[in-house]
Chains A and B, each alone.
Chain A
Amino acid sequence: MSPNVRVKTLKIDGKDVSAREDQTILSVARENDIFIPTLCQMDGLTSVGACRLCLVEIKGSAKLQAACVTEVQEGMEVVTDSERLHSYRKMLIELLFVARNHICSVCVSNGHCELQSLAQRLGITHIHFPFRYPKLAVDLSHDRFGMDNNRCIRCGRCVRVCDEIEGAHTWDLMGRGDASQIVCDLNQPWGSSETCTSCGKCVHVCPTGALFEKGKSSSEMSKRQEFLPYLTLMRGDHNE
């Protein structure tokens, strides 16, 4: 931290907290052990404000703001949990479930899945929206990894880690709307990619079982994400 960084004070859930002026609401909340659910956000990667789970109420603003991309302001009063926010978050998680095919019991990530654990934490017991069940392809052409579009929540973490950290930009999103999908190079089998370095970073930042290591059976795919804060620290950029 450079010495001339200014400090701001604000209230989160009634608690007085202080923050550096360039900090986001999310990072201040985390420093103060205030839980805000997130899926697309990941320390070390650019925040995009896409999953909308981290929306918070700010006094004086009619619109909800994504905590991961909203910088703190002096005197701000933030509410991170209210009945309204809770109900929106539950519905957002439900929408992620109905958009694809998330049957936990047969998933490699069962028990290690961020979507699953958030659903449990938010007290979701059943899905009341109608399922959409698209039938999507599974790509097992890579010799070590696999990709199952049916479990993808399009958080874009794999795209960002591949571009920003590995520098390969093998992944990107194609199409748009609910038809958008993760694609490898020119929408070709992962195994045939010339740009993929097989580093496996995408697999480990994936919050669900969409990207996984081959040979893992149901519930065996736990993810190791420690490399990301380490690399970020060592490279000295993206530093909050």
Chain B
Amino acid sequence: MTTDELQQISTIEQETQGQYQHHVCVCVAAGCLSSQADVVQESLAKEIERQGMGDKCHIKGVGCMGLCSRGPLVSVDPEGVLYQNVKPSDSAEIIESLGKEKVSRLECSTEIPFFQHQKKIVLENSGLIDPNRIEEYIAVGGYGSLVTCLTEMTPSEVIDEIIKSGLRGRGGAGYPTGLKWSMVAKSRPGHNGKYIVCNADEGDPGAFMDRSVLESDPHRIIEGMTIAAYAVGATNGYIYVRAEYPLAIKRLRNAIRQASRLGLLGNEICGTPHRFNIELRLGAGAFVCGEETALLASIEGKRGTPRPRPPFPAESGLWEAPTLINNVETFANIATVIRNGSSWFSAIGTEKSKGTKVFALAGRVENTGLIEVPMGITLREIIFEIGGGIPGGARFKAVQTGGPSGGCIPENFLDAPVDYESLNRLGSIMGSGGMIVMDETSNMVDVAKFFMDFSRSESCGKCTPCRVGTAVMYDLLARITDGEGREQDLSMLEELCDLVKNTSLCGLGQTAPNPVLSTLRYFREEYNHQLVSSE
């Protein structure tokens, strides 16, 4: 595969699509699918046939359009109209309207802040291309960055570009991606060479960014991983994806097959000596496997328990070979950084947090779904403009970021910018991108208990503080929500938070107290209110 051949595929694809006067795109990501988007697609297709529009109108399934709460979503071009809550029975009307007056009763305005205030890098193709066809990805410039890297850049130039972009890991902790790459590049390969691992074990119970990216634009991940492999000198890669995401798995498998067929994976990629293969590995329901050493243990077929670091996976990872582990969203940024240049990327965001972040906006907010925003945007803008505020006129109470490792942020900090450092200062974390809005109906002690229940059951059980500490904290929180808590239970909770945070072996334990610490910090009166009055 050369630049010319890539160009050729792209041209043919564009010509094929250009033959049609109308394009109907149906969102077939998991959110819309569960509101029967597949049935809608089928009935639209039938309707196109029935009305004899087969040669004029092209229909396809596309990835996530973002506004999941109003699915199934259907967009028609060139009219540029988005339809919401589409039912199979609406098909005839929609197809009849093509080239004429739009169906106003189904229209979802794209002028609303939900669409206007976003900045799309990772999701640039989501909702536009058919995730099952590599040709469509190539037609929008896909794999161009890979060819550029392989034919025009040295591995160290690629790493330099990533370092200069300021991209940081999107899995939660925010480690600079370029630095990680250069560490792996410097490590001496093991007898199996080096490995690239994509962490797609999205375990935060309230986050679905990675799933959406994998379902909507799987080739993006493959391209990012292959570029990384070239940069650090790896020949094998794994995508560790949750078994709970069957659709993402299916589309990834398909994408890997297509890329291999075109010589974009395998031996002698693009006619260069670079070779790289990707295999899928299925997770099996263990949140702790998001921790990198636990994830590696799991790929090796073992219990997913973390081990102490150092040695870091960059030096000794999978089967003791140097291993680069990045999150889905991190890999999804790579091709765009290369294509548009590091200075373009680093112009977006704040001083220390560059680029954009994808959030899964959910909970008590009008517009739930998937959003991508520039770093530095305020929480208020996300919740009240993009999110459209709290439904039913209820009062906002808190926003939770970072899932079981993060914290609840109250109203008076809503104007804080969203970046790694500022969220840390507020007692939460960026996390992988779950953002849950809570209104006055939420009991914050119950929320803390919910997360502690999660942590205690997801704790691998290896180290004492996390194994027993989270269980005892849960017992104490349950005692409080049952109305039997006493004053000393709060000080015990604080003691345990400090212990578990500072003595646990891995990130799961070290961050497990955050939901309790942040609610104690901002909503202590709610705890006090539920205690047995001590006489």
Listed in ascending order, the chain A residues whose CB lies under 8 Å from chain B are 48-53, 55, 63-64, 66, 69-70, 88, 91-92, 95-96, 98-99, 128-130, 132, 153-154, 173, 175-180
Contacts and interface: CB of A to CB of B under 8 A. Distances in A.
B461 A178 contact: yes
Contacts of A49: 307-308, 463, 505
Given A92-B503, A99-B471, A132-B471, A177 B464 contact: no
Categorize the interface residue count of chain B: 20 to 34
A88 B503 contact: yes
Nearest to A174: B303
A153 B459 CA distance: 15
Contact of B456 (A64, A153, A177): A177
B463 A52 contact: yes
B495 A91 contact: yes
B300 to A, nearest CB: 15
B308 A69 contact: yes
Contact of B461 (A66, A91, A177): A177
Contacts of B462: 48, 50
A70 B311 CA distance: 10
Interface string B50-73: 000000000000000000000000
Contacts of A129: 472, 492, 496
Closest 7 CB pairs of A and B: A180-B461, A95-B468, A49-B308, A178-B471, A177-B459, A99-B468, A176-B461
Nearest to A62: B502
A71 to B, nearest CB: 8
Given A129-B492, A178-B456, A178-B467, A173 B472 contact: no
A51 B469 CA distance: 12
A175 B467 CA distance: 12
B140 interface: no
B460 interface: yes
Contact of A130 (B457, B465, B475): B475
Residue in A53, A55, A176 whose Cβ sees the most chain B Cβ within 10 Å: A176
A69 B499 CA distance: 20
Contacts of B472: 95, 98, 129-130, 132
B492 A96 contact: no
A64 B471 contact: no
A45 to B, nearest CB: 15
B264 interface: no
B423 interface: no
Nearest to B459: A177
Interface string B22-34: 0000000000000
Given A50-B463, A129-B492, A177-B461, A88 B499 contact: yes
A70 B288 CA distance: 23
Given A69-B308, A91-B495, A128-B492, A177 B503 contact: no
Contacts, number: 96
20 contacts: A48-B307, A50-B464, A50-B505, A52-B504, A66-B308, A69-B308, A91-B495, A95-B469, A99-B468, A128-B492, A130-B476, A132-B468, A154-B461, A176-B303, A176-B461, A177-B458, A177-B459, A178-B456, A178-B470, A180-B461
A64 B500 CA distance: 12
Given A52-B504, A92-B503, A177 B469 contact: no
A128 B489 CA distance: 10
A160 to B, nearest CB: 13
A69 B194 CA distance: 25
A177 B499 contact: no
Nearest to A96: B464
A91 B501 CA distance: 13
Interface string B278-318: 00000000101000000000000001000110000000000
Contacts of A132: 468, 471-472, 475
Nearest to B308: A49
Contacts of B464: 50-53, 92, 95-96, 153
A173 B376 CA distance: 45
Contacts of B463: 49-52
Contacts of A53: 464
B533 to A, nearest CB: 20
Nearest to A129: B472
A70 to B, nearest CB: 8
A154 B499 contact: no
Contacts of A48: 307-308, 462
Given A55-B503, A177-B471, 9 more contacts: A48-B307, A52-B465, A92-B503, A98-B468, A99-B467, A99-B471, A176-B286, A176-B457, A177-B458
A68 to B, nearest CB: 9
B503 A64 contact: yes
Nearest to B476: A130
A176 B459 contact: yes
A50 B509 CA distance: 12
Contacts of B307: 48-49
B310 to A, nearest CB: 8
